Amino acid sequence: MSAPTIPQISPSEALARQRAGALLIDVRETHECALGYPEGALRVPRATLEAEPGLHVARPAMEVLLICASGRRSLLAAECLARRGYARVASVAGGFARWVEENLPVSRPEGDTDFYQRYSRHLLLPEVGEAGQRRLEAARVALVGAGGLGSPAAFYLAAAGIGTLRLADDDVVDRSNLQRQILHTDDRVGLPKVQSARATLAALNPRVRVEPLAERITAANVERLIGDADVVIDGADNFAVRYLLSDACVKLGKPLVYGAVHRFEGQVSVFDAGRQRGRAPCYRCLFPEPPPPEFAPNCAEAGVLGVLPGIIGLLQANEAIKLVLGFGEPLIGRLLHFDALAMRFRETRLSPDPDCPVCAAGKPFPGYIDYQRFCAAG
């Protein structure tokens, strides 16, 4: 059977017909209509309309005008209705995009206009939509370190709409930081990094609550700093803090997004042993013992390509967002290596250590240790 011929009309003509009594139906998905829809239009997703048109169109003799994003889906829906006996069906050419271009009246969902405008590109993604964006806004992320890794991670988490960012760092801005720590500016040299970070992030997205903590993370305060977080991000630059964070996340059942950089190379992974005992590794499963200090110099000692922490920090932000939204495949049990000089990624599979002193299945938490001495002994 050939497809019925469907009239395609301009948005202006559709508006005139709607005002004359025609029924205008927006057949886009709900998350698309969150950004706005033609004023007075009935909102019915295409699949719903095609399944039971009688629930939405009282009489087959009614004049029905269908609109979507660009005009393609509305045309297909109109053909479906025509085959089912609806004789007066038309599709709006150019869809809602052209409706907006022609400055025709638009309605938006009641409530928070800033929310719908600011996160409009997320709302267009079915995998995120309004429900997912609300989850991001309700989420709490603890980020240890407001430096090379923490800067890009915090920037994009704030832009994405993470509701609360807790930043812990006891350092101050130094001019040597500015080559890579993009949260900070030259006029803030000497200020606490968390204070500088809060100013930058508030300017980017005032909806995000930034909790600056100018503290060095220790066994005495780690649980207070990360205890109510949904995700923890490791932006530290030393092994003592990494072991401490990992142990605390195992004890508290928090996913930890790990990142590290050295000269021209970086690593990213997600350690989730606290919630997946015996199935997911922790940081100690990767590094049972720290390397000797002379084999693990920090950026101040070995140098680092300025863009490298940006790349690794963005990957950490990506993993954190996936964990909050519960979609995709997080880097659990996988270590992603990046070589900036070769522009090459490679992946190493990680297995949980059945004899891990911290995360082995059924093993009680052994307690915190003197991590500085532990790492110095390595």
Residue ranges with strand state E in the chain? 8-9, 23-26, 37-38, 42-43, 64-67, 89-92, 106-107, 140-144, 164-168, 209-213, 231-234, 256-262, 265-271, 334-339, 344-349
Q: Look up residue 267 and give its two tokens.
A: 């690593």
- Give the C-alpha distances (Å, rounded to integers) separating 104 from 13, 28, 109, 187: 11, 18, 17, 46
Letter string b/e over residues 201-212, b meaning 16 or more CB atoms within 10 A of that residue's CB: beeebebbebeb
Spatial separation of the C-alpha atoms in residues 163 and 136, rounded to whole Å: 6
One-letter amino acid for residue 78 of the chain: A
User: Cα(313)–Cα(335) distance, rounded to whole angstroms?
Assistant: 15
Helix, strand, or coil (residue 140): strand
Nearest to 319 by CA among 271, 277, 285: 271
- Cα separation, 207 vs 247, in Å, equals 32
User: Which among 68, 80, 282, 299 is annotated as catalytic?
Assistant: 299
Residue 178: Cβ-neighbour burial (10 angstroms; 0-12, 13-18, 19+): middle
- Give the contacts of 111 (CB within 8 A, at least 6 positions apart): none
- Contacts of 197 by beta carbon, 8 Å cutoff, 6+ apart: 146, 150, 151, 154, 167, 169, 183, 184, 210, 212
**Beta strands 89-92 and 8-9, pairing class:** parallel
- What is the DSSP track for 68-85? -SSSHHHHHHHHHHHHTT
Q: How far is residue 156's CA from residue 235's CA, in Å, rounded to a whole number?
A: 14
Task: Specify whether 359 is catalytic.
Answer: no
Catalytic site residues? 299
